[in-house]
Amino acid sequence: MKKDQKRRLIEDVSANVSKFHNYGTGIFVCPTCLVKIPINEIGKVTEAHTLPKAAGFSEATLLCKKCNSNFGARQDKWLGEFLNAFTPGKPFDLSKVSQAGHFIVDGVKINGKWSYSEKEGLKIFAYDNRNSPALMSKMEEKWGKKPEKISLSLPIPLSGKQDDVNIGFITAAYLGWFSLFGYSWVFQKHLDPIRKLIRGEIEKEKARQYILYSNEINLKPWIGLIKYKGEVLPAFGVSGTTVILPPKYAPSVADIGEVSGRRLHSRDLQPITNSRKSNNYPPLIIVGSGKLIVCPDNLMWIKEKPLAIVVDESGRVQMGYPVTSEEYDKRIKEGNVREHSFEAD
């Protein structure tokens, strides 16, 4: 992104902040750690990709420098590798994954590496200096005469990084919603556990409760609502992985029950498309199937009247009627939503 382009984006995003808080004008709030940064300190704000650029995605948003470099090191690599290797509709791509430093032939662990190309096929190499002399001579004897059949297993370290991959997906989901709906999404206290997970402050295993898999869904990255166990949840998906996030009316996904490993169908998804070009819009509440999905905290403190976005049963989005304080109170009550006072650090 060019520097003046980045400045315009920061100005646009910070104008959205000023609709919620009296921080003064020209303040950017990092969506994942909520730190406030004056926009004249442009160097502290960085462009982030909601899905790794390495995997060919280009959706960009803004983060503080600290959060951005943190994600790069911890999750981006694994998520990028995962998405590269598991392209929907294509065979698993061996050339795009890391190696474990060993492989297993007929049940015998051999230290070495392998290479794969369409032209040359699969080649395996054993390291002279990292296998015992006894093993080396056994290999010579057993496999030197080109046996008809051998069984080969190539461990891929990626599988041990599933929690990092999951957190990468959750980060993409959270930032995807931010890029669509701005601080109306971020200024919700009940998303603190998601932010902590993204920042690596709670156990990685917790990420699993937000992830659903389905072999039946092979979609490009999408953002929208998902129906699951009679609930309507904000979601994000790419290929067969779907991330569900807590809605305002049921702030803890744990209320909905154990979700991991459950199958989903395309008919359960309602992708939302939002064609707005600017981030500078009024506070929004999002209503789906009559339930309060997104609603920034302390809404009625805001000078500007919030707009309701209604997602109907067929997934169509109607945008635009101003929410009255009566409707707001009614929805908060119906959803048993506790109001939080939201304060960024």
Instruction: Enumerate binding residues for Zn ion (CB under 5 A).
Output: 30, 32-33, 64, 67
Residue 71 Cβ vs Zn ion, minimum distance, rounded to whole Å = 10
Residue 150 Cβ vs Zn ion, minimum distance, rounded to whole Å = 50
Residue 200 Cβ vs Zn ion, minimum distance, rounded to whole Å = 12
Residue 186 Cβ vs Zn ion, minimum distance, rounded to whole Å = 11
β-pairing verdict for 291-294 and 284-288: antiparallel
Which of 33, 295 has the CB closer to Zn ion?
33
Which of 86, 187 has the CB closer to Zn ion?
187
Taken in order 194, 200, 206, 207, is the CA torsion positive or negative?
A: positive
Which of 33, 180 has the CB closer to Zn ion?
33
Residue 164 Cβ vs Zn ion, minimum distance, rounded to whole Å = 19
Residue 41 Cβ vs Zn ion, minimum distance, rounded to whole Å = 13
Which of 17, 337 has the CB closer to Zn ion?
17
d(CA 315, CA 224): 8
The DSSP bridge partners found for residue 113 are: 125
Helix axes 162-181, 77-85, angle to 10 degrees: 100
Which of 113, 189 has the CB closer to Zn ion?
189
Which of 83, 194 has the CB closer to Zn ion?
194
